[in-house]
Amino acid sequence: MGVNPRRDSGAAAADPVQRRRMLAWLSSVGLFGSAVLSAFSNFVFIKPRATYGTPQRFSIGKPDDYPAGTRIAMEARRICVVREGDKIAAISTTCTHLGCIVGLSETGFACPCHGSRFDTDGHVTGGPAPRALPWYQVTLAPNGEIEVDKDAEVEPGSYLSV
């Protein structure tokens, strides 16, 4: 008859329990570690290192380029420059419904995609658009040119006196 080491040693009898406990602990640490690493890797790669596109702060010319009482749409910049007397403003021409470029109409702005309508101040007058067109901050640079900052939204009716 052979010797069974499991029955001969008291320490060996507790060994499977300790081994299970150790494996459970290592599994827990491994799962926690992989969760932390995956969360960290998501944060690292969510925001790109470089941003592409047109600058959000740009010059649109001198005040004299815009006669009083005009509304001029700049499709490339997605803004409409409004001049009333000695005041100038910039209103977004991106529809607040799904991002289509709105066009000028006799009563304000009209979206060709889904029929949203806006008055001359950009307030919704019809259609599925959920909110008014944003107004952007307009400043006068030291060189006398008008600058629009699309990162800085202002209250509708906020004009720059020129």
Local confidence pLDDT in tens for the 162 residues of the chain: 555 555 555 555 557 778 888 888 999 998 998 888 887 776 666 666 655 666 689 999 999 999 999 999 999 999 999 999 999 999 999 999 999 999 999 999 999 999 999 999 999 999 999 999 999 999 999 999 999 999 899 999 999 998
The full DSSP string for 123-141 is: -EEESS--SPPPEEEEEE-
- Name beta bridge partners: 61: 146
In this structure, the strands spanning 146-154 and 135-140 are antiparallel
Q: Cβ(126)–Cβ(134) under 8 Å?
A: no
